[in-house]
Amino acid sequence: MSLSTGAIKVLYDEDKSNPLHTNPTVQIINIKAVTVQGGIRHRVIISDGVNFMQAMLAQQHSPLVDSEQIKRHSIITLKEFVCNPLQNRKILILLNFDVVQVDVDAKIGAPASLENSNTTSTPSPSTLAASAVKPEPKQEPRNDYNSNFSSGNAANMALDANVTGISNLNPYQTRWHIKARVTQKSEIKKWHNSKSDGQLFSVHLLDSSGEIKATIFTDQVDRFYNLLEEGKVYYISKARVTMARKQFSTLNNEYELIFENGTEIQACEEASNIPQVKYNFVKIADIDKCEKDSNCDVLAVVTEDMGVSEIITKTTGRPLKKRELTLADDSLKTIRITLWGSQAEQFDASGSPVIACKGVRVNDFSGRSLSLSSSATCKINPDIPEANRLQQWYTDKGASSQFNSYSGMVGVSGEGITKRSKITLQEAKDEKLGMSDKPDYFEVRGTIVFAKNENFAYPGCPECKKKITLESNGWRCEKCQKTYPTPDYRYILTASVEDATSQIYCNLFDDQGKLLLGMSANELMALKESDGQASTAAINKRLFSSYNLKLRAKQETYNDITRTKYTCVELTPLNYVKESNELVTSIEKLINA
């Protein structure tokens, strides 16, 4: 096996223009375990057959040494690495590599050190390891509001000389500073539980190489919140680089920053080389190529606004506003996006605006759709060339174009099958939806012909919404460990749904029950207690109305009897204009087929 002769000098000199800097093949000629803060790390010496240099394995590679998947004299190809200075010499941090050959009999060549001419002292293993993982020395106390936020031109010029790109940040660097624009700043969020109290906020940082999220906790919130402003540029250093928590981030970066006590921030006035925002737009027709629960950027025209509605969140039991929009672009495809909270309430869809959405979540529930979370952004009619071109296209010919939606497609995901177009009840049964290990979702247009007038609601906790029990001194919630004078009744209706092909029984919960019956469960329960016949009449009065129902089908076994249980997850009154247009479109497709 041949080594990349000359690569060690190229790596040591950080000559990135040299082809040997990319994927060099080297030999490990020595491995030694060293104890550092946080565990065991492995120092290695790598050679190209001519020269050798010191290196350190990233901590995630320690199991390779323990299991002897790499050993002394093994040959590897370097994929990702960082060269860090250490006491007038350098150490290479090996972040990612491929093992080419594990068992090699001996050292290849007679490599010599590059460092003999530069230094006469040899660091101890503990010193070497510490250089790769320890933070900067603790700084003397300082005035954060002055020294950390000065913006002198001379200081800025000095800092500009050695800026690290956001895309080059990793947990194994110790000396870096970035020059970045704050593109988004969250509100302060506070938490309180049995273990701790605290607060946090986050910012999105952007430079010409990439984006990264920074999170600020507890005491640092008071220090940094008023000093960081959206749209402004700062020099930032001595923050902790850690693995990104993807469930809380919409940015395409494996890492994120944590601001700590030693973090330094300095305002920057010269920001012409830092972009205002960075989009990676995906055409609507290509969104089906995005993975479920991934994030993407979308530029589209708002063609339909379904208005604001309200749901009750499962986790908190509190009401939450939502707004659904239909988006279209010049790929001649449409998709539905959901806005939440204040974004849903404040959005103005008049005039078919163009919107640029950054970091929207791709969903696969009841169709390929998008969700705009609180960490995502939505700009209406942004002043960017792409938006101007799309608006001109829509004005010229887009408004009169025929669009395809994601209806008619069937996707398989971790939640089972999702039917992306309306089907009949008989089709759902014929396709055996709900008979697999995972639930299936589909949409039907049906008529509710019957609803049970017994056991239509349960007594719920006013706070957590869980079922509570009546005791001698009131209604007791075991989860909240509280007693209440009265419960908050919540619907759990059993209803019969029919269409022209078949019939099913399904459960409807509180949101759907309120929409169906036109009153809360508390009101209907009070009516039943005062006049049972009146409550039955109130239920019967609301029957024989047609709706679009989004149903969840799941097989359940009770008393050795297995059946398919249907649950209504969304109930929508029919929009007869829209339904008629859908029928016309279906008829035209049949005629033209």
pLDDT tens-digit profile of 78-119? 998 888 876 667 888 888 899 999 988 888 988 888 765 444
- Note the pLDDT tens digit of each residue in 525-558: 999 989 889 999 999 999 999 999 989 888 887 7
Among candidate residues 268, 298, 328, the one where a domain is terminated: 268
Q: Pick 136 or 13 by higher pLDDT.
A: 13
Q: What is the 3-state secondary structure (H, E, C) of 210-250?
A: EEEEEEEECHHHHHHCCCCCCCCEEEEECCEEEECCHHHCC
Query: Which pair of tokens denotes residue 591?
Result: 């005629």
Query: Is 335 in the same domain as 209?
Result: no
- Do residue 186 and residue 211 come from a single domain? yes
Q: How confident is the model at residue 173 (pLDDT cuts 50, 70, 90)?
A: confident
Tell whether 28 and 53 lie within a shared domain: yes
Q: Decide if 132 contacts 249 (C-beta within 8 A).
A: no
Q: Does the pLDDT value for residue 266 go beyond 60?
A: yes
Q: What pLDDT does 585 receive?
A: 82
Mean pLDDT of the chain: 83
Q: Identify the top-confidence range among 83-97, 229-243, 299-313.
A: 229-243
The per-residue pLDDT for 258 is 94
Q: What is the biggest distance separating any 2 CA atoms in the chain, rounded to whole angstroms?
A: 100
Within-domain flag for 418:
yes
Residue 593 counted as domain residue? no
What was the pLDDT predicted at 46? Answer: 94
Number of domains in the chain: 4
pLDDT in tens, 423-482: 899 999 988 888 877 778 888 999 999 999 888 999 999 888 889 999 988 999 988 889
Domain for residue 483, yes or no?
A: yes
Say if 339 falls within a structural domain. yes
Q: Does pLDDT of 28 surpass 50?
A: yes
Q: Say yes or no to pLDDT of 412 above 70.
A: no
Residues 69 and 118 in one domain: yes
Q: Are residues 389 and 473 in the same domain?
A: no
320 with 233, same domain: the answer is no
* Whether residues 119 and 227 fall in one domain: no
Q: Is 113 in the same domain as 76?
A: yes
- How far is residue 516's CA from residue 497's CA, in Å, rounded to a whole number? 12
**Residue 216: per-residue pLDDT:** 94
Query: Tell me, what's the pLDDT at 581?
Result: 86
Strands 233-237 and 264-268: antiparallel
* Cα–Cα separations (whole angstroms), residue 533 to 413, 459, 526: 46, 21, 12
Range of the domain at 167: 148-268
- Residue 144, pLDDT above cutoff 50: no
Q: For every residue of 324-373, which 3-state class applies, written as one string?
A: EEEEECCCCEEEEEEEEHHHHHHCCCCCCCEEEEEEEEEECCCCCEEEEC
Instruction: Specify whether 246 is located in the same domain as 382.
Output: no
Which residue, 268, 302, 332, sits at the end of a domain? 268
Q: What is the pLDDT of residue 77?
A: 94
CATH code (residue 525) = 2.40.50.140
Q: Are residues 177 and 222 in the same domain?
A: yes
Q: Answer whether residue 277 is part of any domain.
A: no
Residue 377 and residue 341 share a domain: yes
Domain check: are 192 and 109 in the same one? Answer: no
The answer to whether residue 591 sits within a structural domain is no
Whether residue 77 contacts residue 68, with contact meaning beta carbons closer than 8 Å, is answered with no
Is 278 within the bounds of a domain? Answer: no
In a domain, residue 493? The reply is yes
Domain boundary among 268, 302, 334: 268
